């Protein structure tokens, strides 16, 4: 009798869940609010301008729609679409063409009568974004060239002075309202056209700065921002950029933030309104003013940014603005998996389109947006309104989740469909209530069984989607999940000995480990402190509670290596502090072959400085000399550079940070014997900001700028 009652209770529960699922609309960002056991955020809004350091007491209220949206469209459109990336026979330009190609102001102004986007259709653009599953649009009201894509009274350098004579921002605002998307503006702080903006480009020798007043420029910018926030209805985000030049500072950032929030209190403002962004990583330096969310550019944080709001902005090909020669488009597969990856880390994805001067989206962009839309129509529920994955890693894909007081939903994004037909979800201790494929309109339950700490799902032989198939898993109660232990040591190679530290993010667990790749059991060695390794070893570790495993196993190999021998140096020769340098001038998009170049200057410097240069752009340095390594061991070397750099030790390349990019850090490691080793660092600068930092770290030394006392020649 008890068994019959239990069976009846479970049946009623499953029927209730099926009814709930049937009522869930997959394509809406608020789908989670339709599930009774999932809580929704407050919908109240701010009523007064906050102190930028504290915001309002409930900052989440303004952020709700943005956090739920997860996916938006970036649009870079302006005069730079006229040359379409080509100038004087070179075809690698984009929205920076005016300064990258060093086009004089009076020549660039001649694009105005050529800009006539008669094929522009705001309704079609917004519908394309909506059908792709995007929930907001961010478009350039003004880029760095200073050209305004809206009807402004502050300057004649705007779209109403072109043959087009229409305000596309008005039309887009109306279309966004029609289709239910948030309308947002990108607005550049930097302005290469305005006479009061400082500094000038280094190559603009004929543009005098006499009489220029930066405070007057800020007043001009505020007047334009007022137009944008009073003439186009409700604006979701003001997305600032171009804040990195030394004329802008945190005081200006706070002033502008408070000003625009005073015009629209519910407005969101990105962290580039301030002056504390950490380069292309996009987050804000500790202690600096950071607006409402961070802005990683062209990259996805490797482990997410727990507790922080962030949005990855990314091009669909290699340029933001239209370049007719650029056909290096990301595949639909790449974009969909990036979207899932970003959502699984708690971020938003702002995907760019660069329209033509005629007002059309490139066909390659349309093709990809259509394919993404088909995937989102089926699987959007697994993106909208979700939170970051609770799992540190999943070998077959990613996970997003929705949580509430009475239950948890996990969305398992399977990139690599298991050939065995068995999908393993490790470390989940909850009882599962129901599981099914999101692509299955019948919601046919999948068989789920428990195997120690893991839930094992039996899947169909063929994936419903070759790019990303989503499995929905309902769990009873608050998620009870344990990640594998973590190896805290950053070094996987060592010279003499290595202490390996294991940690867990869960309380009331014990860690057991063994050597080799087999799963540790309850009789395996109990971890009580650092494990001293003296030879190459494979370690496997797992969490246990009450005598049973409650996590997956983590396995890592640690290799003992022979260090690179120090160089024999003449003991009678006295080493001089510093480095030898060669300075070159030219235009490069990557590091040149120094052997083929004739230096403009050469000499010595104390470290990796640019003081011998003649110009601010288009130059290159090669630094050579020796480093005096204090102890034998494995050393990590880093270069952080804008634009590209490489580092060699004893003629072996250790760090490759080459390429045309903003400030970016790369690393590499090498085992070195105590003593002298040759070092070579190459660096090139194209245009814009320039910087080079060389750092080092070892088992006994924290990461630091490469000490000057190590350098000699």
Place of tokens 């802005």: 295
* Of residues 76, 213, 220, the one with CA closest to residue 137: 76
Total structural domains in the chain? Answer: 3
172 and 274 in a common domain: yes
Q: What is the pLDDT of residue 322?
A: 98
CATH code for position 100: 3.20.20.80
Predicted TM-score (pTM) of the model is 0.84
CATH code for position 684: 2.60.120.1560
Q: What is the pLDDT of residue 47?
A: 28
> 33 φ, ψ to 5°?
-70, -15
Q: What is the pLDDT of residue 304?
A: 85
Q: Considering 356, 373, 405, which residue would you say is the last residue of a domain?
A: 356
> 466 φ, ψ to 5°?
-70, -20
Residue 411 in domain: no
Q: What is the pLDDT of residue 35?
A: 36
- The answer to whether the beta carbons of residues 623 and 639 sit under 8 Å apart is no
Cross-strand partners of 239? 186
Residue 632 lies in domain = 579-712
Q: What is the pLDDT of residue 572?
A: 58
324 and 274 in a common domain: yes
> 218 φ, ψ to 5°?
-60, -40
Residue 604 in domain: yes
Sheet (strand 447-451) strand order: 422-425, 454-458, 447-451
Residue 421 in domain: no
- The answer to whether the beta carbons of residues 625 and 601 sit under 8 Å apart is no
Q: What residue ranges of the chain have pLDDT lower than 50?
A: 1-57
689 and 607 in a common domain: yes
Residue 525 in domain: yes
% helix, strand, coil for the chain, step of 5: 20, 30, 50
Residue 607 in domain: yes
Q: What is the pLDDT of residue 278?
A: 84
616 and 525 in a common domain: no
Sheet (strand 136-142) strand order: 268-269, 237-241, 182-188, 136-142, 71-75, 348-353, 311-314
303 and 219 in a common domain: yes
Q: What is the pLDDT of residue 20?
A: 37
Residue 385 in domain: no
162 and 224 in a common domain: yes
Between helix 363-379 and helix 122-131 the angle, nearest 10°, is 40
- The answer to whether the beta carbons of residues 696 and 632 sit under 8 Å apart is no
227 and 281 in a common domain: yes
146 and 250 in a common domain: yes
Q: Considering 510, 531, 560, which residue would you say is the last residue of a domain?
A: 560
544 and 677 in a common domain: no
Q: What is the pLDDT of residue 564?
A: 96
541 and 587 in a common domain: no
Residue 337 in domain: no
Residue 650 in domain: yes
621 and 536 in a common domain: no
The torsion region of residue 256 among left (phi > 0), alpha (psi -120 to 50) and beta comes to alpha
> Which runs of consecutive H residues, i.e. helices, occur in 60-187?
60-69, 97-100, 105-108, 122-131, 168-179
Q: What is the pLDDT of residue 490?
A: 86
236 and 183 in a common domain: yes
């Amino acid at each position: 009798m008890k068994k019959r009652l239990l069976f009846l209770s479970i049946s009623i529960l499953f029927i209730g869940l099926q009814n709930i699922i049937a009522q869930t609309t997959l394509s809406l960002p608020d789908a989670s609010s339709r599930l009774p056991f999932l809580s929704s955020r407050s919908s109240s809004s701010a009523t007064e301008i906050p102190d930028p350091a504290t915001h309002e007491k409930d900052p989440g209220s303004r952020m709700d729609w943005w956090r739920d949206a997860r996916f938006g469209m970036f649009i870079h459109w302006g005069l730079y679409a006229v040359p379409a990336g080509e100038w004087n026979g070179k075809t690698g330009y984009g929205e920076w063409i005016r300064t990258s190609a060093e086009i004089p102001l009076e020549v660039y102004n001649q694009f105005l009568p050529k800009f006539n986007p008669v094929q522009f259709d705001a309704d079609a653009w917004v519908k394309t974004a909506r059908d792709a599953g995007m929930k907001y649009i961010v478009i350039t009201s003004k880029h760095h060239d200073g050209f305004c894509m809206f009807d402004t009274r502050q300057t004649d350098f705007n779209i109403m002075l072109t043959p087009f004579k229409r305000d596309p921002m008005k039309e887009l605002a109306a279309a966004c309202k029609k289709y239910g998307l948030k309308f947002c503006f990108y607005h550049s702080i930097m302005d290469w056209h305005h006479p009061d903006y400082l500094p000038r480009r280094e190559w603009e020798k004929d543009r005098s700065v006499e009489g220029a007043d930066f405070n007057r420029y800020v007043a001009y910018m505020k007047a334009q921002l007022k137009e944008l926030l009073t003439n186009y209805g409700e604006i979701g985000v003001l997305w600032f950029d171009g804040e990195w030049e030394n004329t802008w500072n945190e005081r200006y950032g706070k002033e502008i933030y408070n000003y625009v929030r005073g015009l629209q209190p519910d407005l969101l403002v990105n962290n580039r309104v301030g002056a504390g962004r950490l380069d292309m990583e996009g987050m804000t330096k500790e202690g600096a003013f950071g607006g409402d969310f961070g802005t990683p550019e062209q990259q996805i944080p490797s482990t997410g940014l727990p507790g922080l709001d962030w949005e990855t902005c990314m091009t669909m090909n290699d340029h933001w603005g239209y370049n007719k020669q650029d056909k290096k488009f990301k595949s639909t597969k790449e974009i969909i998996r990036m979207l899932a990856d970003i959502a699984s880390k708690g971020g938003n994805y702002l995907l760019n389109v660069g329209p033509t001067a005629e007002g059309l989206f490139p066909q390659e962009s349309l093709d990809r947006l259509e394919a993404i839309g088909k995937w989102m129509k089926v699987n959007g529920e697994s993106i909208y309104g979700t939170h970051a994955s609770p799992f540190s890693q999943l070998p077959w894909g990613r996970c997003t989740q929705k949580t509430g007081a009475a239950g948890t939903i996990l969305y398992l994004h399977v990139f690599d469909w298991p050939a065995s037909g068995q999908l393993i979800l490790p470390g989940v201790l909850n009882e599962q209530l129901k599981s099914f494929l999101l692509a299955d309109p019948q919601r046919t339950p999948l068989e789920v069984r428990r195997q120690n700490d893991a839930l094992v799902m039996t899947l169909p032989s063929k994936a419903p989607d070759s790019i990303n198939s989503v499995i929905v898993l309902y769990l009873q109660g608050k998620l009870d999940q344990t990640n594998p232990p973590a190896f805290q040591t950053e070094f996987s190679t060592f010279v003499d000995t290595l202490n390996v530290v294991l940690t867990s993010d869960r309380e009331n667990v014990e860690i057991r480990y063994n050597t080799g790749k087999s799963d540790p059991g309850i009789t395996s060695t109990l971890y009580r402190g650092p494990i001293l390794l003296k030879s190459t070893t494979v370690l496997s570790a797992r969490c246990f509670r009450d005598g049973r495993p409650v996590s997956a196993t983590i396995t890592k190999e640690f290799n003992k290596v022979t260090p690179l021998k120090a160089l024999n140096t003449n003991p009678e020769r006295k080493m001089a502090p510093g480095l030898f340098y060669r300075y070159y001038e030219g235009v490069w998009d990557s590091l040149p072959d120094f052997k083929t170049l004739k230096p403009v200057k050469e000499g010595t410097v104390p470290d990796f400085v640019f003081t011998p240069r003649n110009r601010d752009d288009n130059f290159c340095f090669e630094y050579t000399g020796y480093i005096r390594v204090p102890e034998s061991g494995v050393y990590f070397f880093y270069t952080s550079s804008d634009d590209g750099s490489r580092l060699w030790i004893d003629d072996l390349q250790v760090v490759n940070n080459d390429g045309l990019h903003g400030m970016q850090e790369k690393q590499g490691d090498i085992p070195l014997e105590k003593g002298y080793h040759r070092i070579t660092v190459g660096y090139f600068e194209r245009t814009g900001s320039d910087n080079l930092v060389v750092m080092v770290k070892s088992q006994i030394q924290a990461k630091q700028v490469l000490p000057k006392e190590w350098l000699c020649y």
